[in-house]
Amino acid sequence: MALYPLLRPLVFRLDAETAHRATIAALKWLPKRRVPSFPASLTTSIGGLGFPSPVGLAAGFDKDAEVAAAMLGLGFGFVEVGTLTPRPQVGNPRPRLFRLAEDQAVINRMGFNNRGQADALGRLASRDRSRGIVGVNIGANKDSPDRIADYVAGVRAMSPVADYLTINISSPNTPGLRQLQDEGALRALLSAVGDARTVGGPPVFLKLAPDLGEGEPDQIVRIAIQHGIDALIIANTTTSRPALRSRHAMESGGLSGKPLKSFATDALYRFRSASGGAIPLIAAGGIDSADDAWARIRTGASLVQLYSAMIYQGPGLARRIAAGLADKVAREGMASINDAVGLDAGR
């Protein structure tokens, strides 16, 4: 991990997707690391799960559930794999992943490329669940005639092997997918998902876009609570394009990394205002330091997720952020990081 600043120029000579696949391959061959211990002050409970650290790996890095154990060993408090669809899917044509190094950002239009839920099922079933929490992010196939049926199939297939499930309706790279955030479609989807859940099954989270209109957070929160959703993940990538310096700035797809920070933070604030703390929130988008994570927690997030920042800062980032959060809890004289959740929500 300490060598990453030296390795990064070599990694960046490869195109972004090739570098990512090489990283996954390397992680599969690395010796298994002991899962680090975290201060008790960082423990957070959501949906009946005890998260040892609030710093998690967002979906998109480990699409096919190949290296979850390795990422837990690198200091993530939990790992979310996927997005996994019922059937294998090649995704969109390459190139479809772009580093915006000058902006510390990424644009992707991957299109839920993955080998399908059946392919990942065996790896997830055989994992050592004592190593930590692994959530499974599920989506619909691009050519599906019934996307709600795809989510139902995902819930049924992946519930036995997931510590939690994430219903991903927020990717901008599957045409029409974000329309499932509309009121009628969302009610139909969450009703079907609720019918597919079994007693004692994993908690279910809902991942949303930051690009929402006036009043939509209130509507989504109300529907999510009515249908027993356990947490909301705020937020996925944005289709907006703030001022960017990279030559890839106008590539189509979802923007993540540092420029997403303001969009994601604003969306988190709106969802916290809409919910008043009635449903747990998980912050994602543009988090690259303990200060960022702390600000999202004080805005109302119980957990945070990162991915793009790791491309620029290396795999030790999760452990550094966790250590920074523990230090902030101690400096504030708090017994638990949970005491900080939402402290700035009304400001």
Catalytic positions are: 171
Q: Taking the CB of residue 18, how many other CB atoms lie within 10 A of it? A: 14
Q: In sequence order, what are the residues at sequence separation of 6 or more whose Cβ sits closer than 8 angstroms to the Cβ of residue 23?
A: 11
| Cα gap 110→100, rounded to integer Å | 16
Would you say 153 and 91 are in contact if contact means Cβ atoms under 8 Å apart?
A: no
Would you say 193 and 84 are in contact if contact means Cβ atoms under 8 Å apart?
A: no
| Cα gap 330→322, rounded to integer Å | 13
Q: Taking the CB of residue 99, how many other CB atoms lie within 10 A of it? A: 21
